[in-house]
Amino acid sequence: MKARAAARGSALNSVFSGLSSDIQNDLIKSIAQVIRDEIKSEINFAKFVSVIADETPDISHREQMSVIFRYLTKTGIEEDL
């Protein structure tokens, strides 16, 4: 019985949580790549495209840039940040 409880305790300690910063960063990068690929695909088929870029410092005086793509698809105007 004690061996079973010890094995159970070690199994609980090895549960995958996915909370490490490396795993979170890898997940964010993977999702961002999928989104970029989808936007690129839509822009490649768009008849008209415009790009708006703006840069401003945040509260810590680091420059933050936003880029907006507007393009025309068969279903209407799309905007992606």
pLDDT band at 7 (very low <50, low <70, confident <90, very high): low
> Which stretches of 1-81 are DSSP H helices?
2-13, 21-45
Better-scored residue on pLDDT, 78 or 28: 28
CB-based contact 27:55 (threshold 8 Å): no
Query: Structural domain boundaries of the chain?
Result: 19-80
Better-scored residue on pLDDT, 70 or 78: 70
Coil, strand or helix: which one is 31?
helix
Task: Indicate whether 11 pLDDT > 60.
Answer: no
Which tens digit of pLDDT belongs to each residue from 36-68? 999 899 889 888 899 999 999 988 989 999 999
Residues ≥6 apart with Cβ < 8 Å to 67:
51, 52, 53, 81
